[in-house]
Amino acid sequence: MCGRYASTRKPAQLAREFDAVDVTGGDAPGPDYNIQPTHPVLVITGDHPNEWNRSVGGHRAGRIVRVMTWGLVPRWAKDPAIGSRMFAARVETVADKPAFRDAAAARRCLLPADGWYEWVRGPGRKYPFYSTRYDGSALAIAGIWSSWSDPEPGSTRRLDTCAVLTTPAVGPLAAIGERMPLLLPPSAWDRWLDTTADVDTVSDLMVPPPAAELTAIEVRPVSREVNRAQHHGPRLTRRFDWTSVTPDLDTSALLRQG
DNA sequence: CCAGACGTTGTT
DNA sequence: GTCTGG
DNA sequence: CCAGACGTTGTT
DNA sequence: GTCTGG
């Protein structure tokens, strides 16, 4: 599904592309071609009234660029470590799951991405693919978020966390797996981020997109270098010929029948 | 009632 | 906090 | 998502 | 095999 992705745009650039106000205050993660759960990520949210004061000095901001930790920690969690396995939520169930329900109803967001990785099980090992737009423009992955406060007496620790949404794979993504991240076109962003409205108002967005929307996406094999968390460079996204290191691998056999 | 989980993917 | 399982 | 650990007592 | 850490 979507447990690793690339996001290389700086907050100022995201502010332009997403028509948002940057409130990261120099505290943003840098470009990263290998973002993993539990790491800081740049996120776009709407400007829910309850957030005005904290975000932008009491003024309405439209959309906001902010930093969160990937891996949703529900408000009620005693230990934020639970977030490490709450990094993805299914569109089919997100509105009902105790861990995600509140966030789906009231705190939706977008995770800007250059592309994302999927692994396909091959003979003996798994092989990664990278999916990105041919034209290089940013993807917007639908997400949900939570604001956690440490319940320990005396603690003032706060943590903003998020999770991506997944949907059944469509188009070229169906060739490499069952799931893919829920990608939203710019025309859907306002409605998705308007969390003054009920989750029912976006149920039409929480479905597999028309395959026609996926024609802009290229899916390409990449090196297994991405497996290692400490690798972060642009070469991770470069097309890679596995037969150069695994001569007997039948690449086409990894892919499903259309 | 209390205790314990709260999630996904993919594989068997 | 809320649901599920025992 | 993958990689890497997977344990305790007791001493510094 | 399964959990934790990144």
- Examine the pLDDT at A61 and tell me if it is beyond 70: no
Say if residue A257's pLDDT is above 60. no
Residue A48 in this model has a pLDDT that exceeds 90: no
- Computed from CA positions of residues A85, A90, A91, A96, in that sequence, does the dihedral angle turn out positive or negative? negative
In this prediction, residues A204-217 reach a mean pLDDT of 95
Strand C: which positions are within 7 A of a protein CB?
A: 1-3
Distance separating alpha carbons of residues A191 and A18, to the nearest angstrom: 14
Give the Cα separation of A54 and A52 in Å (integer).
6
Q: Does residue A223 contact residue A127 with C-beta atoms inside 8 Å? A: no
- What pLDDT shows up at residue A55? 52
Residue A54 pLDDT more than 70?
no
Q: What angle do CA A110, A140, A131 make, to 5 degrees?
A: 135
Q: State residue A76's pLDDT score.
A: 95
- CB-strand contact A104/B, under 7 Å: no
Tell me the pLDDT tens digit for each residue of A96-140. 999 999 999 999 999 999 999 999 998 888 999 999 999 999 999
CA end-to-end distance (rounded Å), chain A: 18
Mean pLDDT, residues A35-47 taken together:
96
Question: Would you say the C-beta of A75 is within 7 Å of strand D?
Answer: no
Confidence at residue A6, expressed as pLDDT on a 0 to 100 scale: 98
What pLDDT score was predicted for residue A234? Answer: 97
User: Is residue A133's beta carbon less than 7 angstroms from any atom in nucleic acid strand B?
Assistant: no
Q: Tell me the CA–C1' distance in angstroms for A87 and E6.
A: 13
| Confidence band for A196, pLDDT divided at 50, 70 and 90 | confident
Range scoring the smallest mean pLDDT among A25-29, A207-211, A250-254: A250-254
Query: What per-residue confidence (pLDDT) applies to A47?
Result: 83
Name the average pLDDT for chain A. 92
pLDDT computed for residue A255 by the predictor: 83
3-state SS class at A106: helix
**A52: pLDDT confidence band, cut at 50, 70 and 90?**
low
**How distant is C1' of B7 from CA of A164, in Å?**
12
Rounded to an integer, what distance in angstroms lies between the CA atom of residue A240 and that of residue A227? Answer: 14
| Strand D closer than 7 A to residue A181 Cβ | no
How much is the average pLDDT of A61-90? 94
What is the spatial distance, in angstroms and rounded to an integer, between the CA atom of A68 and the C1' atom of D12?
40
Question: What is the percentage of chain A residues whose pLDDT exceeds 90?
Answer: 80
Q: Which residues pair with A33 in a beta bridge?
A: none
- The answer to whether strand B lies under 7 Å from the CB of residue A177 is yes
CB A71 within 8 A of CB A85: yes
Nucleotides of strand D within 7 Å of the protein's CB atoms: 1-3
Strand B nucleotides in reach of protein CB atoms, 7 A cut-off: 5-11
Residue A53: its H or E element: helix A52-56
